Structure 1
Amino acid sequence: MKRPIIALLLSGLILPGMGQLYLGRRNKGIALIMAINLLLLVSLFFVMKIASPVIGAHLTGTPLTPALILQQLQPYSFWAKLLLAAFFGLWGFSLVDLFSAFKGENDVSRN
């Protein structure tokens, strides 16, 4: 496989920033990986914050109703959408950055 295809597969399917690291663009690759990991850590925090009252209700024998679960989810819906948008934005940036790097290489090699 060609290097550009491998880099795209690494960033597109494995983890954003891996393709940049594969191509030797260390600073950008490390920054993308750190940003994605930070977003995943914040997402985990929100999942635990939402799940803890639901788990507590289950452990105490309180019936779990859809209304109780929605009540726990509602205050965090905006932040969840924002985190998801940031995650996909970084992922898209990673892929667009790789495409622009490949286009730049092809333009230079043609001249």
Structure 2
Amino acid sequence: MEIKSLKQLREADERTQRFTPGGLGLDRILTPESAAQFQQELVAGLDLAPDVAAGTRQSFDRLRTIYAYGVLCYDIFTIVDGHALLVIEQALRDRFLELRLWTRRRPMA
């Protein structure tokens, strides 16, 4: 493993800077500030339905926060992608358990 200085850890990953609002920029690159703004805006507009369970909402918000750090380390996007699947599974589990409890409480006709 390469040990990086704090200054190096704070530098934007050039691969992330190539993702622009117009798509992949092979002939252009965003400034680190613009890349950070753009990546955060991508996930800022993603909202969950109001009835999503609190635990799933916390996991989702955590991923949105971590996603922003992909500007500094491109590999973070891969980690967030993998964990997003786990959050989807968590949401499905929550809904299944809610439905199961609802059907148990429902009086028999």
What is the TM-score normalised by the length of structure 1? Answer: 0.44
Q: Which has the higher helix share?
A: 1
What is the TM-score normalised by the length of structure 2? Answer: 0.44
